[in-house]
Amino acid sequence: MQHELWNDAAGGFNPVSAPDYLPEAQLREIQLRRLKAVVKRAYDNVPLFRSRLEERDLTPDSIATLADVAKLPFTLKSDLRDTYPFGLFASPMHDVVRLHASSGTTGKPIVVAYTREDLDVWSEVMARTFAAAGLHRGDIVQNAFGYGLFTGGLGAHYGVEALGAAVVPISGGNTDRQIMVLRDFGVTAICATPSYFMHLAEKAMDMGVDLKDLPLRIGVFGAEPWSDALRARMLADTGIQAFDIYGLSEIIGPGVAGECQQHEGLHVFEDHFLPEIIDPVTGEPLPDGEEGELVLTTLSKKAMPMIRYRTRDITTILPERCGCGRTVRRIRRISRRSDDMFIIRGVNVFPSQVEAALFSVEGTLPHYQIILSRDHGLDQMSVEVEVTPDVFSDKVRAMEVVRARLAHAIEHILGIRVGLRLVGPHTIPRSEGKAKRVVDRRND
Ligand code: DLL
């Protein structure tokens, strides 16, 4: 955060002079200059990347325009696994000041590294993320993202400080204490996974604390998919304005993109991350406005540059300018990954579709699980969802009404009927970090 442009008179963060508002030509110029430098850095220091360029008869000089990025090979998660732990680092260890790791679902974790400069960039993009959500000096931010190898906790922590607001580094878990701090410290904003926040809100209600009576006004949520339907519930139940933030360890952690007050997509901090959308099957680049897989190139990372990283996250780059005045482009909210699809009776199903159906029905609570099983070689899906105490106590009538509505909503969205189990409040396991929405028993 040494950049004088971003300092206000009091030495704090001045979001209006951040690169989010640069004239487009200037932004593209910065991107091209940085793209050339990062390709050269990776070529000079990362053997895997160098050999892939050589196989294609490319050198860093092959990059003359931004569109030339499409000539470069993709980087995949398996590349990180295959070179575990440090094989893609472009800095010697004596320049590395932080390591994080992400476990994923199978096998070895992936490890990511940061130099001092990388950490400064990370703090800056997180400060810009928070500023876009309307946070500023004077705010008290409870950071309930997990601290540790997960990038959420420390990423948000330094971003709040860089913004000049006060961070409460509480990490995830210990929900009773979270509620006490929320109330006693006069917390004005909270960061968490959306599922953990809903757990916290439910617990607060049980403890007789109405979040609407507190100064809490903003929630900054990410690390897992969540829907506009959940956003509406958060506002109704807790009175907060909820903002979606996106990022991934491989690229930097949180701070790749975030929503502004318009809530119409997430601004990508394009001076540091170059977004592309590709067809997930053919790998061909798609124009703005078309849906596909998000591919990201880090433009300023030193310790671990990522060239054309295939995120598997499905989204669209919005072609229109945002009403907020930022010039950096937006991506639509990420509702699914190319690898979280399952096929039930020939129908492609994404967990986010199930969520959308569940939350459209009154009487449900935002806690659910999808259970996959296998019967005679065929995949089956059933859904367990919590219902409100009112519905649950009126066992016969209300339950039947809600069940019928849910079955209809799911059939409407997916085109198939699935098993449904309505359960009482507090039945489904809660998570302090990313929620486990799908329980896969197909190979049990
Ligand atoms: O989840 C970084 C993060 C922390 C982002 C805190 C936002 C807030 P990973 O653990 O490496 O990093 O997981 C990255 O999580 O590829 C997406 O599939 C998913 N994801 C992250 N943010 C969102 C979001 C962090 N807002 C993976 N909506 C990504 C949907 C998200 N999915």
Label residue 376 by pLDDT band (50, 70, 90). Answer: confident
3-state secondary structure of 186: coil
How many Å lie between the centroid of ligand 1 and the Cα of residue 427? 26
CA dist 159 and 143 (Å) reads 11
Question: Ligand 1: which of 145, 158, 224, 310 to mutate, judged by most atoms within 8 Å of the beta carbon?
Answer: 224
Owner of token pair 């999808």: 370
Locate the ligand 1 atom nearest the alpha carbon of residue 244 and give its number.
Answer: 26
The closest alpha carbon to 34, from 231, 194, 202, 271, belongs to: 271
Given this model, what pLDDT does residue 105 score?
57
Owner of token pair 């986010």: 352
244 DSSP 8-state letter? E
Q: What is the CATH number of domain 15-339?
A: 3.40.50.12780
Question: Ligand 1: which of 100, 334, 336, 437 to mutate, judged by most atoms within 8 Å of the beta carbon?
Answer: 334
How many Å lie between the centroid of ligand 1 and the Cα of residue 314? 12
R_g (Cα) of the chain, nearest Å: 22
Distances (CA, A) of 124 to 18, 43, 94, 164: 9, 27, 23, 11
* Cut 0.95: pTM above it: no
Q: Which residues line ligand 1 (CB under 6 A)?
A: 102, 145, 151-152, 222-225, 244-249, 253-254, 311, 313, 334, 337
Locate the ligand 1 atom nearest the alpha carbon of residue 337 and give its number.
Answer: 18
- Dump pLDDT digits (tens) for 119-149: 999 999 999 999 999 999 999 999 999 999 9
Helices 194-206 and 175-184, interaxial angle, to 10°? 80
- Dump pLDDT digits (tens) for 292-340: 999 999 999 999 999 999 999 999 999 999 999 999 999 999 989 988 8
Given this model, what pLDDT does residue 180 score?
98
CA dist 280 and 312 (Å) reads 8
What is the average pLDDT across 179-198? Answer: 97
Is residue 356 within 8 A of residue 227, CB to CB? The reply is: yes
Torsion-angle region of 427 (φ positive above 0: left; ψ -120 to 50: alpha; else: beta): alpha
How many Å lie between the centroid of ligand 1 and the Cα of residue 261? 20
What is the average pLDDT across 18-23? Answer: 92
Residues 6+ apart with CB under 8 A from 206: none
3-state secondary structure of 251: coil
3-state secondary structure of 11: coil
How many Å lie between the centroid of ligand 1 and the Cα of residue 248? 5
How many Å lie between the centroid of ligand 1 and the Cα of residue 224? 5
Q: What is the 3-state secondary structure (H, E, C) of 94-131?
A: HHEEEEEEECCCCCCCEEEEEEHHHHHHHHHHHHHHHH
How many Å lie between the centroid of ligand 1 and the Cα of residue 54? 33
Given this model, what pLDDT does residue 345 score?
84
Is residue 143 within 8 A of residue 129, CB to CB? The reply is: no
- Dump pLDDT digits (tens) for 101-116: 997 656 678 999 999 9
Q: Which CATH class is domain 343-441?
A: alpha beta
Owner of token pair 């993320």: 129
CA dist 317 and 225 (Å) reads 17
- Dump pLDDT digits (tens) for 262-281: 999 999 999 999 999 999 99
Q: What residue ranges do the domains of the chain occupy?
A: 15-339, 343-441
How many Å lie between the centroid of ligand 1 and the Cα of residue 251? 11
Angle CA 161–162–164, to nearest 5: 65
How many Å lie between the centroid of ligand 1 and the Cα of residue 126? 14
Question: Ligand 1: which of 160, 248, 315 to mutate, judged by most atoms within 8 Å of the beta carbon?
Answer: 248
Locate the ligand 1 atom nearest the alpha carbon of residue 253 and give its number.
Answer: 2
Residue nearest ligand 1's atom 28 by CA: 225
Is residue 431 within 8 A of residue 193, CB to CB? The reply is: yes
Question: Ligand 1: which of 100, 196, 220, 246 to mutate, judged by most atoms within 8 Å of the beta carbon?
Answer: 246
How many Å lie between the centroid of ligand 1 and the Cα of residue 247? 5
Residue nearest ligand 1's atom 13 by CA: 248
Given this model, what pLDDT does residue 1 score?
41
The closest alpha carbon to 261, from 130, 160, 126, 127, belongs to: 130
